[in-house]
A and B are shown apart, each in its own frame.
Chain A
Amino acid sequence: MDPLAWLASALGLPRWALRAVAAPLVYPGLLTFMAVALFVIWAERKMAARVQMRVGPLYVSRRLGGALQLLADGIRFAFQEIIVPVGAEKWSFILSPILAFTVASLAFTMVPGGPGVYGFRSSLSLIAAYAILSLVPILVIIMGWASNNKFTYIGAGREALVAVTGEATLLASMLAAAMMYGSMDFVSIVEEQARSHVPGIVANPVAALLFFIAALLVTDRVPFDLVMGEQEIVQGPYTEYTGILYALVMALDYLKLYVLMLMFTHLFLAGWAPFSDPLLGSVWVFAKTLALMLFAVFLRSVYGRMRLDQVASMFWSRLFPLALTAFALSALIHPVYAQP
């Protein structure tokens, strides 16, 4: 028997309500994200350590190769005092990271985690998920403004620039995919790919590449980690945060990365196809998402940080026009996926 249906009948709730709660909170939502963050950040540090002739995290849980280091850090953050600077706008300062994290995790109601595993199914779920994610930069800018510190101001300014720059390309490549499949619903996008046996990355590799690069920019990954910009602006808009709020803002970028890579899996890597079993399909989607995330964090060991103006000019003068080209290309590819 379907465990979801069983739980719904046991609690006396309608099934859709249970879905809408389970998707953002359990899978693919926050509970899964905790495990993902724990693993990906550990793997990021271990991979970088391997390249850099170090051992990486080791002493917390030695037998697991230091895998619980992040958990230990998280516990430490949870018990640390939250310091609100005297000059800060108190409530904006405290609430904006919480709100940002909540808003970002609402995207899980729209992005499915496997066949039949989703919060809501809508014919506009792609654009809805994107709209939810694009609210986060506004809250980050509020964080930078509320902290009342020059470094956070500059960081907030950079976040504004990065959000506008990155999301133009991200949206263009996302719409290129939607155009290609003739749908904005994740479920039917995956079904189109399963039916035609052509994953989106083969049909339109340009859009896939641009989506990935733009996702790196909006999630603040090396070589585009401008917002955090440690060597110039300490921690960017997050400079003044301490304790659990700091842990939240640090996890925010990983949360966004997780959502975007989940979207990438559906848009370009054929989601759960060829599986149609909820469990197997979910595992398959999860594995692909994790692999993409690992690749995204591995870039840290290869690149440095690009300069702000170089990033902006690269995205606006080269990648964004390319994304529009990919959009045009999708019109030509559309017959591959069009219903007979």
Chain B
Amino acid sequence: MALVQLPGMVGRELGSSEGLRVVELNIGAQHPASGHMRLIVYLDGDVIVRVDPDIGYVHRTVEKLAEGREYVRIISLVERMTIIDACNVTLPYVEAVERLLGVEPPPRARYLRTILCEVNRIASHLYGLGIGGIFLNHSTMYMWAFGDREVFIHLASLLTGSRLTHTYPVFGGVRRDLPQVFREEFEKAKRYMLRRLREYDKVFFNNPVIRGRLEGVGVMTAKQAVALGATGPNLRASGVRYDARMTGYAAYGELDFEPVVGSEGDALERVWVRLREIEASLELIDRALRGLPEGPFMAEKFTKTVPPAVRHWLGKGRLKLPGSYVRLKTRPGEVLGRGEMGRGEITYYLVSDGGMKPYRLRIVTPSARNVVLFDALARGHTLMDLPAIYGSIDYFPPEADR
């Protein structure tokens, strides 16, 4: 590849200046395949010499808003960052606050959280695969993935009562117990999804056109992936065996969790890791359902505060918490929450001064870490490879912008 040296700040004039071979192309913010962001691409002929991701179009000041809210209200705030992955995005926060509160969730609650997290992960991966499909103009993969995602949204709505923003894990446990119909519905969903995954392999993954687009594109070595701070399936596709679930939060420590690890580090491998993680998640849910312990789904500390008038709901697997739950005060201190979302590891750094609201809540989302990959992976590839790389790293602007 012939690298063109870019002189300092010539950005805006590139197209018209004499003697310069580089064209500046603004992909986005209004572009069919940019998402809520802008990619400023510098092209030498058809070859990309630099990509500047211009982020921040969907910044919603989540961190600042969190400083003005009570702890429990922050749960439904932070899940707005990634509503398609709502349990995974809130769980590390809930666990962090639980540590400050000194509350231990009962085992059943930990298992139920794991189940919803994995259902969300499958839905999130299907979303990513669908977007990855349409980036290569493979409309069938797009429609199939989004259609099949509905199955897992249905499972989530059975468990939590809502399709996307579940606010399911709360301090001390979960909002609702497992409904009886869930096991049966999950069995159906698992059979269906395993069959569909074989069809995905046939139509998308092993499609010669798609293979040609993805194979050897955007290769990231293990060393490079670690140096860039890539996370999630992108990191594992490069052969790094790291997954925040290996720390054993929720019930992962008891389920013999084993991450899916690739080796090649190209776009095809990243798609492959997502496809295999869907299988692994189905297996994990199966294991969690079989090993699901009996007992309460909410910590004793909070169930005894339930007013007598609505106490009968507890027997039906529902929970009506009193207003005092909003006014919880934590002990002062700092705590770090980590968890694996569909797109990678999310980190919460929570500072409490002992009040009802956090002093500071710092959030690092997986997409915010993966944004560096645009420039690192796209250099030296042609313009047509950019959508393939974008689709394969499964970047989600609302999550990155927070």
Contact = CB atoms under 8 A, between A and B. Distances in A.
A150 B136 contact: no
B25 A231 contact: no
B209 A305 contact: yes
Q: In the complex, which of the residues A48, A52, A308 has the most CB atoms of chain B within 10 Å of its own CB atom?
A: A52
A150 B142 CA distance: 28
Contact of B382 (A52, A225, A309): A309
A306 B203 CA distance: 15
Given A52-B147, A150-B23, A223-B209, A230 B137 contact: yes
A306 B46 contact: no
B383 interface: yes
A154 B137 CA distance: 18
Interface stretch (B56-64, B182-190, B384-392): B384-392
B5 to A, nearest CB: 22
B143 A307 contact: no
B137 A304 contact: yes
B135 interface: yes
B203 A231 contact: no
Contact of B33 (A150, A232, A300): A232
B203 to A, nearest CB: 7
Given A53-B144, A300-B139, A308 B213 contact: no
A303 B209 contact: yes
Interface in B119-163: 133-144, 147
B143 A231 contact: no
Nearest to B142: A52
Contacts of B296: none
B137 A225 contact: yes
B77 to A, nearest CB: 33
Interface in A88-107: none
A188 interface: no
24 contacts: A51-B140, A52-B140, A52-B147, A54-B143, A150-B15, A150-B25, A230-B137, A231-B32, A231-B137, A232-B33, A234-B31, A234-B32, A300-B139, A302-B203, A303-B138, A303-B207, A304-B136, A304-B137, A305-B209, A306-B209, A306-B213, A307-B384, A308-B46, A310-B212
Interface in A209-234: 222-223, 225, 229-234
Contacts of A234: 31-32
B139 A52 contact: yes
Nearest to B147: A53
A204 B358 CA distance: 77
Chain B residues touching A, range: 20 to 34
A230 B32 contact: yes
B35 to A, nearest CB: 11
A306 B138 CA distance: 10
A232 B23 contact: no
B210 interface: yes
Contact of A308 (B138, B207, B382): B382
Interface of A: 48, 51-54, 150-151, 154, 222-223, 225, 229-234, 300-310
A232 B212 CA distance: 17
Given A51-B140, A53-B147, A304 B133 contact: yes
A307 B23 CA distance: 20
Nearest to B15: A150
Contacts of B138: 303-305
Contact of B386 (A48, A232, A301): A232
A305 to B, nearest CB: 4
Contacts of A150: 15, 23, 25
Nearest to B33: A231
B140 A301 contact: yes
A301 B139 CA distance: 7
B23 A308 contact: no
Nearest to A48: B139
A301 B138 CA distance: 7
B371 to A, nearest CB: 19
Interface in B338-392: 382-387
A48 B203 CA distance: 14
A303 B133 CA distance: 10
Contacts of B385: 307
Contacts of A154: 25, 383
Contact of B384 (A52, A54, A308): A308
A91 B96 CA distance: 65
Given A51-B140, A304-B210, A306-B209, A232 B383 contact: yes
A232 B382 CA distance: 11
Nearest to A53: B147
State the 3 A-B residue pairs at the shortest beta-carbon distance, nearest first: A52-B143, A304-B138, A304-B136
Contacts of B136: 231, 304-305
Contacts of B383: 154, 232-233
Interface in B172-204: 203
A223 B204 CA distance: 13
Nearest to A226: B384
Contacts of B141: 304
B384 A304 contact: no
Nearest to B384: A307
Nearest to A54: B143
A307 B387 CA distance: 11
B144 A305 contact: no
Contacts of A310: 212
A196 to B, nearest CB: 37
Contacts of B135: 231
A225 B136 CA distance: 11
Interface string B213-226: 10000000000000
A309 B385 CA distance: 11
A290 B390 CA distance: 38
Nearest to A310: B212
Contacts of B144: 52-53
